[in-house]
Amino acid sequence: MSLRTSPSTAWRLPRTALLLLLALSAAAGCRLDMHDAPKYEPLEKSDFFADRQASRPLVDGTVARGFLREDELLYTGKVDGDFAPLFPFQITEEILLRGQNRFNVYCSPCHGRTGSGRGMIVQRGLKQPQSYHSQRLLEMPPGYFYDVITNGYGVMYSYASRVKPEDRWAIVAYIRALQYSQAAPLEDLPEEDRQRLRELQ
């Protein structure tokens, strides 16, 4: 039995490969055309619109998905225009721990881990914020702290783009816990903690 290919078989193999190569080239061409379809890129100039901008402004009354802010308390920290004296949801241990985490990341560089206003950035020259344990801030309602985190205050800029609303409230809850920790009655502590404090005195 001969292992040689006949002339007709030898011609069929390159022809098949050539047809396959042509089909692949055609498919690649279509893909490129679909990827490179005529369209405006974001912020691109347009000669079609009078303002010469391809990106169009939102139609009045339009609300982007996920940005409907119907809950005034949750999103502004206010009730009927005044700083809210309450939280928009129940504060649990899980929320306090989340607040501690976010506080340590975003707030402690200036406010310090205990809220004294002597964070590391302040020690290096930035203006010192008021201590959370000052009488003025002890008397402020939770909505005030939420508003400051959202809109900024003095040299502090807004954290609205960095911290989502629920996390802002968690931070406020943790600030309240810090305030309470500095003036908590001794009898509110568990016996083992009271014993430890006695040993430190």
Whether 84 and 73 have beta carbons less than 8 Å apart is answered as yes
134-192: per-residue pLDDT in tens? 999 999 999 999 999 999 999 999 999 999 999 999 999 999 999 998 877 888 888 88
Asked if residue 3 has pLDDT above 60, the reply is no
* Distance, C-alpha 92 to centroid of its chain: 21
Residue 19 tokens read as: 């047809």
Mean pLDDT of the chain: 87
Give the pLDDT score at 12.
56
Q: How many CA atoms lie within 13 A of 171 on its CB side?
A: 29
Lowest mean pLDDT among 4-8, 26-30, 185-189: 4-8
Q: How far is CA 95 from CA 26, 111, 116, 177, 188, in A?
A: 58, 20, 22, 12, 21
57-89: per-residue pLDDT in tens? 888 888 878 788 889 999 999 999 999 999 999
Q: How far is CA 130 from CA 92, 127, 153, 169, in A?
A: 27, 10, 11, 20
Q: Phi first, then psi: give them for residue 122, nearest 5 degrees.
A: -65, -40
Instruction: Kindly tell me the sign of the dihedral angle through the C-alpha atoms of 109, 113, 118, 124.
Output: negative
